[in-house]
Chain A
Amino acid sequence: MLHAKIIDSSIEKIEISKAEHFLKSEKFGAVIYFIGVVRDNNENKKVNGITYDAKDTMVIKSFEEIYNETEQKLGIKNKAVFIEHVKGHLKLSEKSILIGVACKHRDEAYRLSRFIIEEIKKRSPIWKKEHYENEDSEWLKGISLTT
């Protein structure tokens, strides 16, 4: 069971309560939330916000592919996964991503949560533009998808 969505920050925000509602089941004994938030520094620069860009359809496709791979790669069959990622501008401490996972046991849940965030970092077409205290801004360097 997967929920995958891009959240336009100008319209709505990531809310943990939605993930709680989605993941709630008597079948699962372990629920883990990974939340990415905007921090105030990067490489010795004072950050005051980040603009996220995304190719929405491709991002959702990548979330679905990552979810579908978890059974074979991690051997986790019974699970629920909630993934939301923001697109648009965020201020400090605002949530950029929420990955909620529910599994039968904690070991599976920890492994699943870690796998999903690491794969998103490598595969999902999302970009960050950092805004600095001195009013400069910069697109962060990332991982190339060229083969």
Chain B
Amino acid sequence: MTRHIKTRRDILLTGAAATLVTGATGLTVPARAAGVAPTPTMRGGANNYRPGAPIVDRIGNGGFWMTGRVRRAGDGTPLEGIRIQVWAHTTEGHERDPQSHGATLTGADGTFRLEMPQIVPAFGQPHGHLAYDSPEFETVFLRPVMRSASDSTLHAEFVLQPA
């Protein structure tokens, strides 16, 4: 095999090609002047979602806290009365079980907290699911992973884009 030595010409060509590709395919993201970008849906976030989970004081017997905050994209204003649905594989049921699902509303400061059974590792990671799926804003599904399976709380941030 002949050895190929990287020349300046190669490097310039690579750079030019990269610029062309990103420019032509729209892979670049324009800089946003007004601050808070909307939260994208996470991969696998909607798995085992059951639309219309009831608003509850607590899912099952509790012991674990799902917390979070909901803001509006752009100005970052906290959003009150936003319905957030939560589900997970816990000590009391699989993700698909109806009793593993529940919903809550955000307070005036945009935060929410919902007590639920301890999340346990399932499908390889200790993780929870959250959904914002109501008409006023674009739907967002989140799938945060716990740093440790022994954590007794999990936090999620929503930045919603008006629909």
A is bound by B: no
